């Protein structure tokens, strides 16, 4: 009986010890810590193309990445960039990159020159982000803003897949495996030789003078049909307009007066407006409508805005 009571007392003491450790947020010394507490962060690949979603191209590229870097996390920006539009790709890339930190790999395939002499490159910016893409101007806006630390041409066959490269699907054969090697932690300098410069887009800056500003409609904010311009909010403010003013402008040959407001609902449904969008650009929209269709405007289109009349 005494032996039974001793064993029962020892058992109760053990249970109390386990409970006390749990209440303190600590596992008993005999229990291993959860491996999640020591897990390394997953490498991130941010993926953008003009492939569309009606085919298997983006899925094949993701499969290539996972085969080389199984632990990678792939974030999709969009696969609906305007087909062949390097300008739209550069704009989207510049818009999304500030929201990611260093060591992220951006995989971008908008490549109207696929199979030609254009280079496939890896670019590292001074912020420590990596970009795997064709050298066709996609880096123009990011490089101007963030600076470039180095550029490598992808020539190492070990950073590619397939015994014979396709002349039309370098997204699968070159760019995706190269992005995966970076995500896996391979030395980016082994991808190929260093090069000194990148192809730059010929972007037209707005022209400000005594009469107003001349800019350009550069894109549509799909699917809404809002017009995105190359005029910054700061440049527009130099014309003297305040919220609530009517803005005098000309789109192509059409003259309009459109209210300058803070947001869409500041005008009635179906009415046009001028506003500064979330990326700081002057834009035109129709509240709950499609400005592009309503006014038959497609980029590129010339936009002239007159200065506000005094008084």
Same domain, 131 and 271: no
User: How high is the pLDDT of residue 133?
Assistant: 98
- The CATH number of residue 237's host domain is 2.40.30.90
Q: Please say which residue of 191, 223, 238 terminates a domain.
A: 191
Report CA-CA distances (Å) from 18 to 8, 35, 63: 16, 20, 45
Same domain, 218 and 245: yes
Would 199 be classed as within a structural domain?
Answer: no
Q: What is the mean pLDDT of each run of 10 residues along the chain (311 residues)?
A: 48 48 47 52 94 96 97 97 94 96 97 91 98 97 97 96 81 96 97 97 92 94 92 96 97 94 97 95 97 93 94 70
Cα 40 to the center of its chain, rounded Å: 24
Length of the chain: 311
Same domain, 243 and 118: no
Same domain, 50 and 179: yes
CA–CA gap between residue 178 and residue 68 (Å, rounded) = 9
Same domain, 59 and 184: yes
User: How high is the pLDDT of residue 39?
Assistant: 57
Which pTM value belongs to this model? 0.80
Domain that holds residue 121: 40-191
CA–CA gap between residue 186 and residue 123 (Å, rounded) = 15
- The CATH number of residue 61's host domain is 3.40.50.10790
Number of domains in the chain: 2
Same domain, 58 and 164: yes
What does DSSP assign to residue 139?
T
Would 122 be classed as within a structural domain?
Answer: yes
Would 221 be classed as within a structural domain?
Answer: yes
Torsion of CA 205, 208, 209, 215, to 10 degrees: 70
Same domain, 172 and 252: no
Report CA-CA distances (Å) from 132 to 5, 103, 122, 188: 71, 13, 5, 11
């Amino acid at each position: 009986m005494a032996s039974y009571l001793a064993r029962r007392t020892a058992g109760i003491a053990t249970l109390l010890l386990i409970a006390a450790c749990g209440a303190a947020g600590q596992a008993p010394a005999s229990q291993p810590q959860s491996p999640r507490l020591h897990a390394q962060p997953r490498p991130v690949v941010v993926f953008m193309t003009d492939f569309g979603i009606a085919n298997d191209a983006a899925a094949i590229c993701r499969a290539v990445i996972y085969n080389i870097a199984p632990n990678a996390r792939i974030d999709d920006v969009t696969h609906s960039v305007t087909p062949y539009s390097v300008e739209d790709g550069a704009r989207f890339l510049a818009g999304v990159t500030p929201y990611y930190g260093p060591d992220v790999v951006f995989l971008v395939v908008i490549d109207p020159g696929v199979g030609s002499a254009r280079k496939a490159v890896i670019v590292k910016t001074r912020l420590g982000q990596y970009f795997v893409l064709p050298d066709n101007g996609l880096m123009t806006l990011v490089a101007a803003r963030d600076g470039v630390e180095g550029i490598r041409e992808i020539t190492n066959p070990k950073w590619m897949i397939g015994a014979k490269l396709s002349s039309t699907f370098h997204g699968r054969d070159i760019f995706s495996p190269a992005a995966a090697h970076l995500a896996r932690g391979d030395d980016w300098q082994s991808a190929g030789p260093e090069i000194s410069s990148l192809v730059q887009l010929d972007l037209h800056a707005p022209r400000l003078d005594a009469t107003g500003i001349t800019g350009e409609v550069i894109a549509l904010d799909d699917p809404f049909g809002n017009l995105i311009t190359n005029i910054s909010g700061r440049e527009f403010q130099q014309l003297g307009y305040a919220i609530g003013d009517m803005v005098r402008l000309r789109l192509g040959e059409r003259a309009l007066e459109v209210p300058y407001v803070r947001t869409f609902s500041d005008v009635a449904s179906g009415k046009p407006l001028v506003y500064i969008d979330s990326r700081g650009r002057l834009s035109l929209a129709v509240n709950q409508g499609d400005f592009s269709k309503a006014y038959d405007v497609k980029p590129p289109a010339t936009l002239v805005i007159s200065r506000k009349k005094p008084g």
